[in-house]
Amino acid sequence: MNENTKARLNGLLLSAAHKIGLFLAMAVICLPGLWIVLASFRPTVEIMAKPPVWIPGDLSFDAYVAMFSGVGQGGIPVIEYFRNSLIVSVTSTAIALAIGMAGGYAFARFRFKVKSSIFLGLMLTRTVPGIALSLPLFFVYSKLGVIDTHFGLIMAYVALNVPFTIWLIDGFFRQVPKDLAEAAQIDGCTRWQAFWQVEFPLAGPGIASAGIFAFLTSWNEFALASQLTRSVNSKTLPVGLLDYTAEFTIDWRGMCALAVIMIIPALVLTFIVQKHLVSGLTSGAVKG
């Protein structure tokens, strides 16, 4: 065979293999999620059917209707859970952002002694497994009487999110050239004004994505929430998911429906954040 034809054939083969590989990878990533969405629209008999029913015959919103129909009628207090999740996530994110911005700015713009040790120390607080932290926190919170309150959960999530928020925001401030703030100061700004007028707007999109990341962490957290919440007063969606499990059975359809409710806000936010998140992580980490 001609050398050129062979080389071309090789190229075609490679690109075909690439396409197939890409398709398979994407399928594996998407399939579990899609299966959940599908199951939430199917009647339980179809989910449980043996042999399995592959082509859904009967799609409906019954699971969602049942979920919202109130406790006692097969529903769960989903509105309350959603509200709790929202209050806790939003508040803890806002506080974590404020603290993280101050800290991130300190790391990005100042030189000080033992800087890298402090940074590592902050990160290490994040590595404490939620379950390990939940034991003493549970004890302290019971003494303080903040078990099963929004406040308790918010504080815990702020602490959980601050280290990583600082890492991200540090990275975003590093991307803003120092000269700009200096130029603003020469133009007559105070350091404070220079920050708000110049550096903050430029790092803004990055800070927003750090916020979304913190929000997602709080929104999805389970280990702490499962110990620090008790009732509809403060139970969040991940904990609420357990309402669909009984001692030996699981209401798969209802659980899938709740999962969909939980995932939608996360989906939307991640879509918004994707571009900045990566650049912040890498710039902070590589140029550190």
Partner 1 sequence: MKGWRPPAPFLLLLPAIVVLAAVVIVPLILSLYSSFTPFRLTQPASLYTFVGFRNYARILADREFWTAFGRTVLLLTVALNVEMLLGLGLAMLVEKATSGQRLLRTIMMFPMMFSPILVGFQFKFMFNDNIGLVNNALQSLGLTDQAIPWLIDGSLAFTAILVAEIWSSTSVFAILILAGLLAMPKEPIEAARVDGCTPWQTFRYVTWPFIMPFAYIAMTIRSLDVARAYDIVKIMTDGGPAKRTELIWTLVSRTAYADARMGLANAMAYVAILLSILFTVYFFRKLAAARTQIAAEW
Partner 2 sequence: MATVSLEKLVKRYGAVEVVHGIDLDVADREFIALVGPSGCGKSTTLRMIAGLEPISGGNLRIGGKIVNDLPPRSRNLAMVFQSYALYPHMTVRENMGFSLKIAGQTPEEIAPRVEEAAKTLDLTHLLDRRPSQLSGGQRQRVAMGRAIVRQPEVFLFDEPLSNLDAKLRTQMRVEIKKLHAKVQSTVIYVTHDQVEAMTLADRIVIMRDGHIEQVGTPEDVFQRPNSKFVAGFIGSPPMNLKDAEIADGHVVFSSGDRLPLPSRFRDRVTAGQRVTFGLRPDDLYPAGHGIHSGEDADVYRHDLHVILTEPLGNETLVFSDFGGAEWVGRMLNPRRLVSGEALPFCFDLSQAHLFDGETGKTLRG
Interface with partner 1 in residues 61-80 (CB under 8 A): none
Site track for partner 1 across 121-150, x = CB under 8 A: -xxxxxxxxxxxx-xxx-xx----------
DSSP label of 199: I
CB of 19 to partner 2, least distance (A): 17
Site track for partner 2 across 7-36, x = CB under 8 A: xx--x-------------------------
32 binds partner 1 (CB under 8 A): yes
- Residue among 157, 159, 167 nearest 238 (CA): 157
CB of 4 to partner 2, least distance (A): 4
CB of 255 to partner 1, least distance (A): 6
220 binds partner 1 (CB under 8 A): yes
Residues 6+ apart with CB under 8 A from 254: 63, 66, 67, 74, 76, 244
Return contacts of 239-248, CB within 8 angstroms, 24+ apart. Answer: 239/81, 240/76, 240/77, 240/78, 240/81, 243/76, 244/76
Which listed range, 6-14, 33-41, 92-100, 150-158, lies at the site for partner 2 (CB under 8 A)? Answer: 6-14
Which listed range, 64-72, 73-81, 175-183, 254-262, lies at the site for partner 1 (CB under 8 A)? Answer: 254-262
> Which CB, 62 or 105, lies closer to partner 1?
105
Task: Report the alpha-carbon distance of residue 129 to residue 243 in Å, rounded.
Answer: 24
- Residue among 223, 108, 229, 117 nearest 170 (CA): 108
> Which CB, 59 or 128, lies closer to partner 1?
128
Beta bridge partners of 32: none
Tokens of 247: 């001692």
Contacts with partner 2, residue ranges (CB under 8 A): 3-5, 7-8, 11
